[in-house]
Structure 1
């Protein structure tokens, strides 16, 4: 759906007046100088891998000084890096922003090397003794214990340093290629009776059109466009997965997945329990697909029908409507959450307008302490409102991390979705309360559709990536082979719920999550986030006041312990498949209600 209102661009002037301003040049130079000073501090203090170090007063003083400066530099680098990336993500044709981003990469390599040296240094000492004798170490206990464990999977200092340097022209370069190529990709599409060249984000937005013929034409145009750029994207994917496999092997991880599980603060038992519960839910999602096909009065859903709107789909949620609704409904949970959202809207933290050169999708990124930036391509539908609430949830999580140091703010992807799913659920449940029959159908369908993407589709993406990593150990994969793996993973998950002749073979080209050497298996953490968030929401419904007392502290503590320990605060056992099935029961209830509505209208 389209909006009649102009959509906001975010305000970056509060940081610097612009990328070509003297203030930005000064800030850039100052940050680079801070990194150089940290290098000198680490060199002078011998912060690097050593033989076994004795924890004494001298070592404690060196550690506390190093941590203080390391945290400070990380904060300043974050602001500078995000400031630049905000220009790139909203306009990949901005050559000045691209140049500044490239310049910063050289300094980020040095910072990455310092991070590696710091980890190796901690691996050389008894961190438990350090934690026992230093208040600073005690405040960073989880980070230190993680570093100690990570140090066991490090290459030699020279190899780690070389890997960081090469990443600029390897993994990072391939990531940038995918981002730039896909954001600048124009697609030939017939819109309003005219053949036009439009950005891919506009084409993909047609998936929610009420007109099936428009959806079909957009889908076919999209596939044709991906086919044209499939060769360079396949090379990028092969190169990134090859790099990750090589480094995982050299760092003595059993697999890239094991390295990913460590990075996300969960173990294999948790992942297996969650995926097992997800597989048990596939028949329910296929039941939803069949009911949706019945509601659309078609024999079977095609891939391009997955996002087709139902119910009161003619309702236009103007951006101002979304703002009022979100601020009001967040207030039903807490005044602090509501005030946060109001601030995000009023202070220009949100970039909502789809436009040429702007990347597809949505995200939230911390900018500085309690201030974030929210990126979305807003659609004037309830789905657009829900997405906005989801990203604001990420920002609220950042707010609760604001007083933590950089080392304390480590946020694994598994826990990064906690507040976003919770906020999205608040909005969905609120919208259902006053909805009439048609609106109820639309809201239910949007909620189930989102859950379907995060459970069913994420499983397909996980299976695909797992197979790519395994086969990439032998050789590079061709476009046709990547298409084949993607189609098979979709068949294994969507099953007979979707017309098998209309699957999306190029989904591996669409999803930017595959194109990161630092964030392999970027998929399953979203499922964890949804189901963990729903499980927390169930606890909230059972005892609202008790839950509120611990919720903000939980968000503030996501960098202070592993997921299982944090979950235990609310009586959740992540190793138990029963917990994950219980979260999915909330989705099943929605599917039951949706199917009943469809049957009653038959």
Structure 2
């Protein structure tokens, strides 16, 4: 009898022995004290919006003192917050973790209020003069200039304070409700002739089963479970979008989208160029879906066929195999990248085991210094490998950001995907080089499937969210209306690539990305990340050595300039649809090869 190798859980004891340890209690108290001391420093130096000030030596010294302490507090808060959240996301039933997260939240509100005061103060300074006379200000020039813009979109200090204090019992509370409900959702599903109670994360993983009957039963059981949970989830979504709309109006943004674009360091012209190129690529993706349907011997793909595997991989892809392959292939780019990945595995930065109470999906979060933690629900297939590579790419980005201050490491979502896409592409290309026919089909299908999700499905999510924001300005939307908007968005993007009688009306309930007041329009940055990453990879292929000289510095600078400025370093014009089209051409080439392989088989 063979046993499945156990999957690793991450090691958090390097920070504290546990949530119930005296060391954690002391660390928590130290962070609370540091936030309070920062508040006293702000009061002493009147850090708040003021009349325009001349930059004198005393003000320069105040700025340098305040920003140094502020950066230090942000460092400590991040480590503590991530430590607690790592317990919450791996086990939402952990009452102690939930309690400590809730306890920390009131102090995070205080820090948020201080952050608002700091931004308002920066915006009222003579920013350009300060940058000219202070080396510390010059190092934070982008943050200061952004603050000058942001201060024009602030409510009064009293209103900003009230909004921040209410957020923990409004937007954040609705987001927490979504996370708790979805992570604890149990689905009744017949497996091997027996009805079992299965976590939602496990049921969704069955979408990649080779058994179409099982995929369909899992899909139908999943829809039934989401249907039962829609009342509280619809309330959460309506409340969050309503709150974002209200605050955007009071902060004088034209729309929630404009606020999102500013936060993501791009403009509407860039967004429209990218979305236009994406729309032009839909026929190619539908051609891929038709070819996949042919390979599956079905007339048209249903929603539950999207992640169906094709081809076959001769080599095993258990976790140890994934580790070895990733470390080796990262080494083809650079020893530094490979050494980093080996360290992540060796020091147990990765929590890979799916289990009850653990949220679905994957993410990477910076912990302290150059350390990260990678959250995954590992599947022993090539998709599992590419997901690990993707998240480790985020970790490599964090390594390059480690020498920056906390404020300088605050980067937009659009640029956050740069290293992850690059690392995932390294793995895909490496696997293709040694693949036989069936393996090429499997690898190409996995790669195109991922691109389809980020281009086609992300567009559907963007269209849905845009409609929800616009409709929510008038009133709340019912479950039926949310379903209808989701289905229409899927029809508009997938087109005849999927059977429209078997789409997924509850994707608005599935995706946690919709449930955040601070990250509205969480969708399009992923498309930006994919296409920007592919464009960079194409440049790497053309001139590897020159590219390597600039790439790590680019990653370390993603919080120091807007996307267009950073892209210009590599001769990229983000306003030109041709750039986005060229990136999508890389995917089109994969689709052409995939279709040829499928048709020659038939």
TM over 0.5: yes
CA contact (8 A) 1:4 1:318 kept: no
CA displacement, residues 135-175 of structure 1 (integer Å, 9 cap, x when unaligned) = 11001000110111100100000000110000000100000
CA contact (8 A) 2:352 2:376 kept: yes
Bigger drift between 201-210 and 190-199 goes to 190-199
Runs of at least 5 residues in structure 2 that lack an aligned partner in the other structure: none
Give the match for residue 465 of structure 1: 465
CA contact (8 A) 1:389 1:420 kept: yes
Change in CA separation of 1:376 and 1:3 when aligned onto 2, cut-off 3 Å: farther
Shift in Å at residue 51 of structure 1? 1.3
CA distance in 1, matches of 2:489, 2:83: 37
Structure 1 residue 81 corresponds to structure 2 residue 81: yes
Question: How is 1:478-489 mapped onto 2 (pairs within 5 angstroms)?
Answer: 478-489=478-489
Give the match for residue 505 of structure 2: 505
Give the match for residue 305 of structure 2: 305
CA distance in 2, matches of 1:515, 1:316: 37
Bigger drift between 529-538 and 406-415 goes to 406-415
Give the match for residue 175 of structure 1: 175
Give the match for residue 257 of structure 1: 257
CA distance in 2, matches of 1:583, 1:123: 37
CA distance in 1, matches of 2:530, 2:416: 10
CA contact (8 A) 1:374 1:391 kept: yes
Give the match for residue 382 of structure 1: 382
Structure 1 residue 577 corresponds to structure 2 residue 569: no
Structure 1 residue 329 corresponds to structure 2 residue 329: yes
Give the match for residue 549 of structure 2: 549
Structure 1 residue 294 corresponds to structure 2 residue 294: yes
CA distance in 2, matches of 1:340, 1:499: 44
Structure 1 residue 414 corresponds to structure 2 residue 408: no
CA distance in 1, matches of 2:161, 2:494: 43
CA displacement, residues 305-357 of structure 1 (integer Å, 9 cap, x when unaligned) = 00000000686411000000000000000000000000000000000000000
Question: How is 1:159-174 mapped onto 2 (pairs within 5 angstroms)?
Answer: 159-174=159-174
Structure 1 residue 441 corresponds to structure 2 residue 441: yes
Shift in Å at residue 199 of structure 1? 0.4
CA distance in 2, matches of 1:404, 1:503: 45
CA distance in 1, matches of 2:549, 2:50: 44
Runs of at least 5 residues in structure 1 that lack an aligned partner in the other structure: none
CA distance in 1, matches of 2:3, 2:337: 27
CA contact (8 A) 1:315 1:381 kept: no
RMSD of the alignment, in Å?
0.9
Question: How is 1:400-411 mapped onto 2 (pairs within 5 angstroms)?
Answer: 400-411=400-411
CA distance in 2, matches of 1:548, 1:192: 51
Give the match for residue 199 of structure 1: 199
CA displacement, residues 532-568 of structure 1 (integer Å, 9 cap, x when unaligned) = 0000000000000000000000000000100000000
Shift in Å at residue 53 of structure 1? 1.5
Structure 1 residue 232 corresponds to structure 2 residue 193: no
CA contact (8 A) 1:3 1:318 kept: no
Q: Which runs of 4+ in 1 moved over 3 A?
A: 313-316
Shift in Å at residue 437 of structure 1? 0.3
CA contact (8 A) 1:174 1:239 kept: yes
CA distance in 1, matches of 2:453, 2:132: 45
Query: SS where residue 408 of structure 2 aligns?
Result: helix
CA distance in 2, matches of 1:263, 1:522: 11
Query: SS where residue 64 of structure 2 aligns?
Result: helix
Give the match for residue 268 of structure 2: 268
Give the match for residue 152 of structure 1: 152
Shift in Å at residue 193 of structure 1? 2.1
Query: SS where residue 501 of structure 1 aligns?
Result: coil
Give the match for residue 426 of structure 1: 426
Query: SS where residue 270 of structure 2 aligns?
Result: helix
CA distance in 2, matches of 1:267, 1:326: 35
CA distance in 2, matches of 1:473, 1:145: 31
TM-score with structure 2 length normalisation?
0.99
CA distance in 1, matches of 2:601, 2:413: 41
CA contact (8 A) 1:153 1:253 kept: yes
Give the match for residue 28 of structure 1: 28
CA distance in 2, matches of 1:55, 1:488: 55
Query: SS where residue 152 of structure 1 aligns?
Result: helix
CA distance in 1, matches of 2:498, 2:375: 31
CA distance in 2, matches of 1:68, 1:222: 50
CA distance in 2, matches of 1:334, 1:107: 42
CA distance in 1, matches of 2:407, 2:350: 27
CA contact (8 A) 2:362 2:391 kept: yes
Give the match for residue 50 of structure 1: 50
CA distance in 2, matches of 1:283, 1:479: 31
CA contact (8 A) 2:314 2:439 kept: no
Query: SS where residue 176 of structure 1 aligns?
Result: helix
CA contact (8 A) 1:3 1:379 kept: no
Structure 1 residue 132 corresponds to structure 2 residue 137: no
CA distance in 2, matches of 1:491, 1:274: 20
Shift in Å at residue 125 of structure 1? 1.4
Query: SS where residue 7 of structure 1 aligns?
Result: coil
Query: SS where residue 585 of structure 1 aligns?
Result: helix
CA displacement, residues 266-312 of structure 1 (integer Å, 9 cap, x when unaligned) = 00000000000000000000000000000000000000000000000
CA distance in 2, matches of 1:376, 1:563: 28
Shift in Å at residue 205 of structure 1? 0.3
CA distance in 2, matches of 1:23, 1:162: 33
CA distance in 1, matches of 2:105, 2:439: 48
Question: How is 1:179-190 mapped onto 2 (pairs within 5 angstroms)?
Answer: 179-190=179-190
CA displacement, residues 514-544 of structure 1 (integer Å, 9 cap, x when unaligned) = 0000000000000000000000000000000
Shift in Å at residue 122 of structure 1? 1.1
CA distance in 2, matches of 1:506, 1:447: 25
Query: SS where residue 504 of structure 1 aligns?
Result: coil
